[in-house]
Amino acid sequence: MTAITARAHTNIALIKYWGKKDPKLILPYTDSVSLTLNDFYTDTTVEFVDELAADQFSLDGQAQVTTKITPFLNLVRDLAGINLFARVESTNHVPTAAGLASSASAYAALALAASRAAGLNLDQQALSRLARRGSGSATRSIYGGLAIWHRGEDDATSFAEPLPTPDLDLAMLVVLVDAGPKPISSRNLMANTVETSPYYPAWVTHNQQAAQQMVTALAQNDFAAVGHLTEQSSMQMHATILASDPAFTYWTPETLKAWAIVKQLRADGIPAYATMDAGPNVKILTLGEQVPKILNALQADFAGRVLTTTPGPAAKVIGAQH
């Protein structure tokens, strides 16, 4: 069969997803809103092959276990009505040791490459639903620019959609606080937060409202509101994590140092807003013209540890080989 190569870009949630109502189907408790990034992406080639006795998977040229991707490929095989095993080769173009989550770009690229290689021609909504089954954040990486993941009620209604491109020159800086592996996976910590954090129900109510407020703020090109909602959603997510049992935080002293710089920038009149995910790195949402000033402010503490990027494109097929 045809080998298909797809490219998908990673995304950063402005309004976070944290917690699964249905862990098997990956149905979230709240909507989330994200920005797909131009400079960080995954290329994945999938070919379903007659002679294989099991799926094969390599990442950056290294053979990997298939415990996570075989169940995902089974979904594709079921949809396509085929029973061949697949050869999967992925390359992550996330700068080495960036400490950025790559599961979003990984499962979005895999969903597109595997479905096409299996002979399916899914539309973006169906691809978004499929990518969701691999990793929640991948639901949004099917689209370029801004996307909203509607939490939905079941498999059919939980998918992402693109949001209109605002008239804002959005830019993001990634401050590499720590490039090491995550101390605890988002999957495990999410489950524990839902089960044990007394603040979790409040977070759900508030974050769900924030997603709607974000859609409005973007439609109004109101960057101050977009930035404020972004920082709030992240802080509230980390607060509910901190309150779980056992208590936990991804933050390090350097995370706080970077956040303090962002707050000082704002006090100086520069629109910059911090957001952190399942790790200690700090992403700064800003406008393109502000980037040099922000780089300058980070220079003393984070020289050589800041990456700059802009909104990126939708997942696409970049190669087909017969």
Q: Name the residues that contact ligand PMV, by CB under 6 A.
A: 13, 16-18, 32, 101, 103, 135-137, 186-187, 277-278
Q: Centre a 10 Å sphere on the Cβ of residue 253 and count the other Cβ atoms it contains.
A: 8
- C-beta of 20: minimal distance to ligand PMV in Å? 9
Select 98 or 117, whichever has its Cβ closest to ligand PMV: 98
Measured CA to CA, the distance from residue 102 to residue 227 in angstroms comes to 23
Handedness of CA 39, 90, 78, 68 (dihedral sign): negative
Q: Which helix (H) or strand (E) holds 112?
A: helix 103-117
- C-beta of 135: minimal distance to ligand PMV in Å? 4
- C-beta of 139: minimal distance to ligand PMV in Å? 8
- C-beta of 283: minimal distance to ligand PMV in Å? 10
Select 4 or 145, whichever has its Cβ closest to ligand PMV: 145
Q: Which helix (H) or strand (E) holds 16?
A: none
3-state secondary structure of 137: helix
Measured CA to CA, the distance from residue 315 to residue 10 in angstroms comes to 10
Select 226 or 297, whichever has its Cβ closest to ligand PMV: 226
- C-beta of 300: minimal distance to ligand PMV in Å? 28
- C-beta of 21: minimal distance to ligand PMV in Å? 14
Select 87 or 162, whichever has its Cβ closest to ligand PMV: 162
Amino acid at 52: L
The residue number with the shortest CB distance to ligand PMV is 13
Measured CA to CA, the distance from residue 198 to residue 23 in angstroms comes to 20
- Which has the closest alpha carbon to 148: 160, 166, 164, 156? 160
Select 187 or 316, whichever has its Cβ closest to ligand PMV: 187
- C-beta of 132: minimal distance to ligand PMV in Å? 9
CA angle 93, 183, 300 (to 5 degrees): 65
Select 4 or 151, whichever has its Cβ closest to ligand PMV: 151
Q: Give me the torsion for CA of 269, 271, 276, 281, rounded to 10°.
A: -80
Say if residue 246 is preceded by a cis peptide, omega within 30 of 0.
yes
Select 180 or 319, whichever has its Cβ closest to ligand PMV: 180
